[in-house]
Amino acid sequence: MHDPSSGADASAAPPLTRRRVLAGGGRGLLALALVGSASVACGASTAPGPDPLEAALEAARQDSDLAAAAARAAAPWLVPALNVVAAERARHAAALVEELARAAGKPTPTTETAGATTSASGGAGRAPAPPPSVQDVVTALRTSAGTAAELVPTLSGYRAGLMGSIAAACTASYMVGLPPPPPPSPVRRPR
């Protein structure tokens, strides 16, 4: 409202003074400090889940064991390719162990303490499982490549690069590294 006697508009904001600016700024800083401490407290109460690279490590170890087992039972022409896959996936596991240790602030475990996998054997009285086929290795590599590729956008820096490299290596292994079976030899007919 306008007060005709004072000549000032009563609806206008009070004049801006240095005291008013400092008081408003102090309230703003206090609000920011409270919001910041509340977010830290909320963040501290939620325990982080398992490291996403743990699953990739387990897959690398299983793929390595699978490829090595398949190589022991494969045709001679497939053995070198399967051994390369087994060695490559073992190197992936070693790189993942190093990254997990670095992220946890722990020293890199030695090979004796790295939790090397052992192949499952059948229990007493059970027939041993048939050896894995090349197709089993291809399926495992395809799954590992897909899982690693899905993980890449959720990571950053070295971890994203590591998982991208693992996805590419697994894809190359099953698409290029494991050769298709040789064509059947032609049947020769006597003349």
- The DSSP secondary structure of 117-185, one letter per residue, reads -------TTSPPPPPPPHHHHHHHHHHHHHHHHHHGGG--HHHHHHHHHHHHHHHHIIIIISPPPPPPP
Query: Residue 98 is inside which H or E element, if any?
Result: helix 79-104
Q: Which of 11-15, 47-51, 81-85, 176-180 has the highest mean pLDDT?
A: 81-85
Per residue in 45-101, pLDDT (tens digit) is 445 778 899 999 999 999 999 999 999 999 999 999 999 999 999 999 999 999 999
Work out the angle at residue 63's Cα, subtended by the Cα atoms of residues 62 and 67, and round it to the nearest 5 degrees: 120
- Full set of structural domains in the chain with CATH: 53-116+131-177 (1.20.1260)
pLDDT given at position 43: 46
pLDDT given at position 177: 85
pLDDT given at position 72: 95
Tell me the pLDDT band of 18, cut-offs 50, 70 and 90: low
| pLDDT(1) > 60 | no
Q: Which of 93-97, 114-118, 122-126, 186-190 has the highest mean pLDDT?
A: 93-97
